[in-house]
Amino acid sequence: MRVHVIGLGGAGGRIVDRLTADRDGDRFLHGVSAFDTDMEALDRLESLGKDRRYRFGDAAGGDGLDGDLHAGRELGEVHASELGRALDDQRPSIAEAFVLVVGVGGAAGGGVAPALAAELETLYDAPVYSVAVLPASAESDPDTEPDRKENGDDEPSRHGGSSPRRPLTEKNAARTLGALSEGTTAVLPFDTDAWLRPGETIVDARDRLNGIVADRIAALFGAGESDADAVTPQQVLDASDIARAVGDEGDVAALGYATQAVEPAETESRFGLGLFGSSEPEKVDASAAVSAVETVIRKATRGKNTIEVPEGRADRTLLVVGGPPAWLNREAIADGRRWLAEETGSGAILSGDAPVPDGEEVFALVLRAGIDEPERIREIRESIPGRSG
Ligand SMILES: Nc1nc2c(ncn2[C@@H]2O[C@H](COP(=O)(O)OP(=O)(O)OP(=O)(O)O)[C@@H](O)[C@H]2O)c(=O)[nH]1
Ligand SMILES: [Mg+2]
């Protein structure tokens, strides 16, 4: 499906910058924008063209908001329609969905996200999905020595391997998650704690983490938008399948993803004469294909997801299997669907495939929605008394 992905604040901007570096030109990536109050953070992006970055909020004087979520919300109210207009050059009316990417522990991104979501929902009929990068616990841990510059996006700080301290992150995250759950179609959290390695700070890890987030965004929304006109997926996934899977009540959805490198299936060897003669149709060993498909489906399901899925259960599950067409073994995919239905308890598994003609890996993406509340989300929610929002 064609999406317009909007990175908000420092984390959001860096993640869409990475998405652009890896995927610019892919058909699913209809539009990309980065919005921040922080001029320097925007300037440091590398892959996203200047015309797709936008600095807003004169009141912030070109700086970040240092975690002041209240200020961020106010700027959101004032500037939402201006931000909506900043998309216009990229023909937002053609997008089938908007994806807001935001580090919910911050202020600029988390502050404007709810107002921008409301603006987009008023202007367009497309769903607005949010990708919510959760703060690391160490950021708001009172035992962590404060960083020189309480700021997650600058100088690496290395005090005992904890992340740079931003004391308000958890409370900000609780408020922004509440607002996204009310104001966006679905929330896709990314549990930073679960993905940080021991002793690693966010600054150390962010390139790796941003790559992980970008891959999953691409696998989900890229399904059904194969670039090769020649190859039609046998099972086409469209925007309404994704919409059905995630639901429209601001539910949390988890993404699992796994890949396995495979030999490209080619009619002619890249090294000149094909080993088995030159005009064989694409062929791969069936048992190797079955095994690759089965393995990636299991790993995407049982391996670490963007957020933990309590007991693996979900009301709704979507499966995407992609890779070189010859590797997408029909029976193995059908078996995988049956296995996944058992595993998740979901009544029906929505699924589609994503042929990548010159691909060198088979991948599976598993989206689960309608899940019990993950522990990390509960912890964040309980950091403020009463209801969040
Ligand atoms: N995955 C990832 N997380 C990040 C990155 N940078 C920051 N974070 C996380 O996102 C949270 C918010 O940081 P920013 O996105 O920089 O905040 P902001 O929206 O710019 O808000 P202010 O700087 O407070 O105005 C941090 O507390 C970290 O938890 C990044 O590059 N990648
Ligand atoms: Mg910032």
Specify the higher pLDDT residue, 207 or 276: 207
Query: Over the chain, what is the mean pLDDT?
Result: 90
> Which single residue is written with the structure tokens 């539009």?
31
More confident residue, 235 or 334: 334
Q: Do residues 135 and 282 both lie within one domain?
A: no
Residue 6 in contact with residue 67, Cβ under 8 Å? no
Specify the number of domains making up the chain. 2
Q: How far does CA 232 lie from the centroid of its chain?
A: 25
pLDDT band at 231 (very low <50, low <70, confident <90, very high): low
- Cα 326 to middle of ligand 2, angstroms: 45
Q: CATH code at 188?
A: 3.40.50.1440
How far does residue 10's CA lie from ligand 2's centre (Å)? 4
Strand pairing report for 186-190 and 349-355: unpaired
210 domain-assigned: yes
pLDDT at 46: 98
- Give pLDDT, residue 160: 43
Pocket test for ligand 1, best of 137, 162, 206 (most atoms within 8 A of CB): 206
285 with 360, same domain? yes
- pLDDT value for 158: 39
Task: Give nearest CA residue, ligand 1 atom 7.
Answer: 11
Instruction: Evaluate whether residue 36 is within a structural domain.
Output: yes
Q: Using one digit for the tens of pLDDT, what is the confidence trace for 72-115?
A: 999 999 999 999 999 999 999 999 999 999 999 999 999 999 99
Statement to judge: residues 131 and 207 lie in one domain: yes
Residue 241 lies in a domain: no
Per the domain annotation, does 101 fall within a domain? yes
Q: State the distance from the centre of ligand 1 to the C-alpha of 135, rounded, in angstroms.
A: 8
Ligand 1 atom having least distance to the Cα of 109: 19
Residue 147's pLDDT is 46
Residues 355-364 have pLDDT tens digits of 988 899 999 9
Listed in sequence order, the residues at least 6 apart from 29 whose beta carbon sits closer than 8 Å to its beta carbon are 3, 5, 19, 20, 23, 218, 221, 222
Cα of 133 from ligand 1 centre, angstroms: 8
Using pLDDT thresholds of 50, 70 and 90, give the confidence band for residue 176.
very high
- 218 plus 260 within the same structural domain: no
Residues lying with their CB under 5 A of ligand 2, a single-atom ion: 10, 38, 64
* Whether residue 92 is found in the same domain as residue 194: yes
Chain mean position to CA 265: 30
Q: Averaged over 264-270, what is the pLDDT?
A: 56
215 and 298 part of one domain: no
Range of the domain at 262: 253-369
Instruction: Choose which residue among 6, 8, 14, 162 to substitute to test ligand 1 binding: the one with the highest number of ligand atoms within 8 A of its C-beta.
Output: 14
- Give the pLDDT score at 281: 52
- Do the beta carbons of residue 383 and residue 168 sit within 8 Å? no
Same domain, 317 and 215: no
Ligand 1 pocket mutation, candidates 53, 56, 153, 169, criterion most atoms within 8 A of CB: 153
Q: Are residues 206 and 260 in the same domain?
A: no
Residue 388 lies in a domain: no
Judge whether 385 lies within some domain: no
Distance CA 215, CA 194 (A): 17
Whether 389 is in a domain gets the answer: no
Among 133, 139, 208, residue to substitute to test ligand 1 (most atoms within 8 Å of Cβ) = 133
Q: What does the alpha-carbon distance between residue 24 and residue 213 come to, in Å, rounded to a whole number?
A: 15
Ligand nearest to the CA of 172: 1
Site residues for ligand 1, CB cut-off 6 Å: 9-11, 14, 36, 38, 64-67, 103, 105-110, 133, 135-136, 139, 152-153, 166, 169, 192, 202, 206, 209-210
Q: Are 120 and 85 in contact (CB under 8 A)?
A: no
Model confidence at 279: pLDDT above 60: no
171 belongs to a structural domain = yes
**Å from CA of 107 to ligand 2 middle:** 7
* Same domain as 180, residue 269: no
pLDDT at 129 over 70: yes
Pick from 149-163, 167-181, 333-347: least confident: 149-163
